[in-house]
């Protein structure tokens, strides 16, 4: 899918190098946004990165990326089904700082692709966001997600919480 200034597509195992570089950028930029440390990610081998890239083409999961015409990866989002009760779960959300905001359109384009996938799996989309990640929480609220009141300890610092948010997805 081509939009204004970037293309959205699913990742593949062959994208392992770009998947790795974008993940490291994500962890440097917003460490509390993810359940992995920079050092842990740095230690992964090529096979791990290829497996992560392949998630874009696996059954019942998706990973999409936004790529500029110059080839720069500027955003990504993923989704998978952890269990039937949870249904589609939005994960790995990142947009490079210079592509954030409504004008750029990267977040909306990526999320639209994830929502299209989630509709094929269920009628809703769930996510977990760190309680101190106000920017992300506000962005999700603007896009129709609502807090459920359910929280869980943040895996890297159990003294803080992740908040569950859900969006009901009307069928087209």
What is the average pLDDT across 75-87? 94
Q: What are phi and psi of 141, to 5 degrees?
A: -60, -40
pLDDT in tens, 19-52: 999 999 999 999 999 999 999 999 999 999 999 9
- The percentage of the chain sitting over the pLDDT mark of 70, rounded to a whole number, equals 97
73: left (phi over 0), alpha (psi -120 to 50) or beta: beta
Average pLDDT, the chain: 93
pLDDT at 141: 96
Is the pLDDT reported for residue 66 higher than 90? yes
First to last CA, the chain: 18
Reduced to 3 states (helix: H, G, I; strand: E, B; else coil), residue 35 is coil
């Amino acid at each position: 899918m081509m939009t204004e200034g970037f293309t959205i597509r699913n990742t593949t195992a062959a994208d392992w190098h770009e998947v790795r570089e974008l993940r490291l950028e994500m962890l440097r930029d917003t460490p509390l946004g993810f359940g992995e440390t920079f050092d842990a990610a740095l230690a992964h081998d090529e096979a791990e990165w290829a497996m992560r890239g392949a998630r874009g083409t696996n059954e019942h999961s998706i990973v999409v990326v936004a790529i500029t015409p110059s080839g720069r990866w500027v955003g990504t989002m993923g989704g998978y089904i952890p269990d039937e009760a949870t249904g589609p779960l939005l994960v790995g959300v990142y947009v490079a700082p210079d592509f954030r905001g409504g004008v750029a359109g990267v977040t909306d384009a990526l999320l639209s692709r994830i929502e299209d996938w989630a509709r094929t799996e269920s009628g809703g989309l769930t996510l977990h966001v760190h309680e101190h990640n106000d920017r992300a929480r506000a962005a999700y609220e603007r896009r129709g997600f609502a807090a459920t009141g359910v929280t869980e300890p943040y895996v890297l610092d159990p003294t803080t919480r992740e908040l569950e948010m859900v969006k009901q997805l009307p069928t087209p």
